[in-house]
Structure 1
Amino acid sequence: MLNSSNLHERPENIQQAQGDSPHRDSTGVHVVPFRGWRFTEDHRVTSKPSSFTPWAQHGTPSQLADTFTAWQQTGAVVQDRDSSFYVYEQTGPQGVQRGVLAAVHVQSDLCPHEQVIPEKVNAIAELMEGAGMNLDPVLLGFSGDGSTTGCIRYSLTREPAMEILSADGQLHRLWPITDGHWIEAITEELRTRPAHIADGHHRHAAALQLQRSNEGRAWDYFPALLVDIETSPMQLSPIHRVLPSADPCQALDTARTQFKVQSLSGGVDDWIASLNQQATIGPAFVLVTSHGAYIATDPHLDYLKQVQRDSPASLRNMHLAVLHDALIDDLWKIPDHPETINYEHTAQSAVQRVLENSGVAVLTTPPTREELESAALAGVCLPRKSTSFGPKPHPGLTFRTIEGN
């Protein structure tokens, strides 16, 4: 588990990768309450996660603004009268997550662990600026002293202000916190605690970009769910690669020159079981084409030494680094671009994309917590979309607009 001593390390090259300002408050995370917009009773019970933020994938700034304005005018959403922190809990088949939603200053001591895609950062910044509002909350993990946990435990004894059962079976509950005692306790705890960005690197980078490019304080803060990982550990899941332009036959033939490649039988669950077993021994990846699935293992050691000679030592044994250094970059020579490397959070969705559109899917395992800590301490950013922390906060429990906060 990542702990507070690890999180205090803030390597310079990670700051530069995220575009940070040198004037960061390095003592911890600075949070303030905000006046959230929430769905009313008549609208929230039938809502699903995808219906809350349709703009996140397909919308334009004007569409986002028009949609939210329509919700305001019809009374679908109302703004809380008082600025609040929000205790948040989700439970269900995807796991348990508890934390506090707050507005976090962009110059807080936040440690990213992944690189970002500049085009995606620009698109998110343009969307937020044009609509005058933030998108989904960033997920932050920290090691606390118990103050935030105490507030959460107190809130769980009361009736929630909002409760939603989402389509995936997760129950999401929300409690606004306006009591000065709890607000002060949480603020003081986080002021001395750095945090790592578990999910939302691009949203964080977009917030930094907006703050730099706008005068005044309008974009100084962004919404985040802060989770004390000592009392609410996060789950680590893989993010699989889909290479739509890769020629399946050529990719397999090239992989065989430096890896042991064997065909797999059965279905996706069987392939993942084989992958997890082989990954305990060494680097392993399942390569899926429209004609079948194959597992690549046992890379030639001399080849790995050569291809990784310029790679940071802390990454050389990480399976995902081997995937990018050896297969994607060297053998397949696929450029690191959104059009040539796509990302899927489930093996089933990655496989389905290949079956429908050809190409190659690469099913992976996530880095371990020890590998993440080692990379962070060495000042190294992992390849983009290296791992998924979860479960993710629900995107539509509360919204933060720039005007009025």
Structure 2
Amino acid sequence: MDLAPAASAAPVAKPLRLEPFRAKLLAPARVGDPTSARAFARPYRAVSARLQDWEADGRLTHMSTEAVYVHEYTVGGLTVRGLVGSLSLANRSDRAGDRAIWPHEGIHPVQVGELGKRMYEMAMNPAPILLVHEGPPEVRALLQAVVAAPPDVAYLDRAGQQQRIWSITRRDLLESINLGLQDSDALVADGHHRYAAYLRLQEEHPGTPWDWGLAMLVDQLDTPLFLGAIHRSMGGVTFAAARAAALAAGAQVQTLPRQVAVQELAPETIVLADGASWAVLTPPPGSGLAQVEWLHNVLLPRLPLPPSAIAYHHTADEALQRADAHTVAVLLPALDFAAVRDLVHAGRLLPEKATSFQPKPSLGVLMRSLLDEPVAPS
């Protein structure tokens, strides 16, 4: 499928606002349990009734009042803290200086349509999209004051994440937070297709609860997300063909032993392997492209035939396990937040699955039902 810009609709414009909502929370024993995904399975129109049944037998909690939530989770020694609320979507602008939300990857329009239909049938945002920004000090101070108190909810989930939630219901505090956020802009860290589906649903149903979409906003200056690389294995591509395409694209190519090649992976290099041969590519300087862009925009078009399939891997070992005489593994360096931010502010989009923001929260910690909102939040 061809990739399209991350949102065909006009982007969400400033001020960035998060509004309160009545959260649904899976019971602690259900969060992080893969079987909980059954609650959101087909038929999607039955999801709301299914969750009502879960609430009746104690597998789900429904908060009694609307709030914006501070959600803090810890896994593997890393703690992430974010604000979870209903992101205002109705204010739009095509001007780059007005933009509040910046996607950084392309999308598949068919997938956007499928996700939008699914959410509409469920009448739910089953998980927040993950946004990241460099937050203003005044908002950071407000949140630190909130988390100084004991959390309203705290537990260790089935996936090993320690969850903590604080509810913010005071209107004066919420307005102070939104006042501090009004000039902020945020990067979509996870949920590009859901964000595009949010925009499509808002355009199709203006003046309804679809004017908002569930989001978690993380301050990269407070509790930063880790950015990892996403590697590739390309079926139907031989090592020799990939090496020749790199040379034709002007890259410096060094054939090296395995251990040396892996150690040479760096911000300016790419590693190719088929399990028997290894090479380190250094694209020509001055292209202005990130290595993942150079791979997709420069090297791949020079292959004699396009890959029959591209698989994506969060570890180098996973990619290398797929490598053989007819599949080349491509190890890529990770980008940092500043590089991604500057790239999108310059009007560019990265290829699909260019970055991995980690760790992501477990499914089911905070959910939003649109059936709770017969009229849009004020």
Shorter-chain TM-score bucket reads 0.7 to 0.9
Going from structure 1 to structure 2, the CA distance change for 1:361 and 1:214 (only over 3 Å counts) comes to: farther
> Which of 366, 372, 377 is equivalent to 1:404?
372
Which residue of 2 is the match for residue 203 of structure 1? 194
Report if the CA contact (8 A) 2:105-2:353 is conserved.
Answer: yes
Whole-angstrom CA distance in 2 between matches of 1:72 and 1:38: 9
Which residue of 2 is the match for residue 383 of structure 1? 351
Q: CA deviation at 1:93?
A: 1.4
Report if the CA contact (8 A) 1:211-1:220 is conserved.
Answer: yes
Whole-angstrom CA distance in 2 between matches of 1:46 and 1:61: 20
Query: TM-score, normalised to structure 1's length?
Result: 0.77
Q: CA deviation at 1:62?
A: 4.6
Q: CA deviation at 1:263?
A: 5.3
Which residue of 2 is the match for residue 176 of structure 1? 167
Query: TM-score, normalised to structure 2's length?
Result: 0.82
Whole-angstrom CA distance in 2 between matches of 1:141 and 1:213: 27
Summarize deviations over 1:210-247 as a string: whole Å, max 9, x none: 1122354131111111122232233211122233x324
- Asked if residue 119 in structure 1 is aligned to residue 105 in structure 2, the reply is no
Going from structure 1 to structure 2, the CA distance change for 1:223 and 1:134 (only over 3 Å counts) comes to: same
Secondary structure of the corresponding residue to residue 394 of structure 1: coil
Q: Percent identity?
A: 26
- Asked if residue 246 in structure 1 is aligned to residue 239 in structure 2, the reply is no
Going from structure 1 to structure 2, the CA distance change for 1:72 and 1:271 (only over 3 Å counts) comes to: farther
Which residue of 1 is the match for residue 184 of structure 2? 193
Mapping for residues 4-403 of structure 1, pairs under 5 Å: 17-21=6-10, 24=12, 26-40=13-27, 44-45=28-29, 47-48=31-32, 50-53=34-37, 61-62=44-45, 64-65=47-48, 67-93=50-76, 95-107=78-90, 109-166=100-157, 169-243=160-234, 245-248=235-238, 251-252=241-242, 254-255=244-245, 257-258=247-248, 260=253, 262=255, 264-265=257-258, 272=262, 274=263, 277-280=264-267, 282-287=268-273, 289=274, 291-292=275-276, 294-299=278-283, 301=284, 314-315=288-289, 318-331=290-303, 333-334=305-306, 340-352=309-321, 354=322, 359-403=327-371
Going from structure 1 to structure 2, the CA distance change for 1:368 and 1:154 (only over 3 Å counts) comes to: closer
Report if the CA contact (8 A) 1:262-1:295 is conserved.
Answer: yes
Whole-angstrom CA distance in 1 between matches of 2:165 and 2:280: 45
Whole-angstrom CA distance in 2 between matches of 1:55 and 1:386: 30
Moved more, 74-83 or 87-96: 87-96
Whole-angstrom CA distance in 2 between matches of 1:331 and 1:233: 38
Report if the CA contact (8 A) 1:263-1:292 is conserved.
Answer: no
Going from structure 1 to structure 2, the CA distance change for 1:257 and 1:347 (only over 3 Å counts) comes to: same
Whole-angstrom CA distance in 2 between matches of 1:351 and 1:169: 28
Whole-angstrom CA distance in 2 between matches of 1:65 and 1:250: 53
Whole-angstrom CA distance in 1 between matches of 2:177 and 2:35: 32
Q: CA deviation at 1:60?
A: 5.6
Q: Which amino acid aligns with 1:391?
A: P
Unpaired segments of 5 or more residues in structure 2?
A: 92-99, 374-378
Secondary structure of the corresponding residue to residue 73 of structure 2: strand
Which residue of 2 is the match for residue 12 of structure 1? none
Secondary structure of the corresponding residue to residue 96 of structure 1: strand
Higher share in helix: 1
Moved more, 226-235 or 253-262: 253-262
Q: CA deviation at 1:18?
A: 1.0
Secondary structure of the corresponding residue to residue 212 of structure 1: helix
Report if the CA contact (8 A) 1:120-1:202 is conserved.
Answer: yes
Whole-angstrom CA distance in 2 between matches of 1:167 and 1:349: 25
Q: Size of the alignment, in residue pairs?
A: 359
Summarize deviations over 1:114-161 as a string: whole Å, max 9, x none: 211222212211221121111321111233333432343233233323
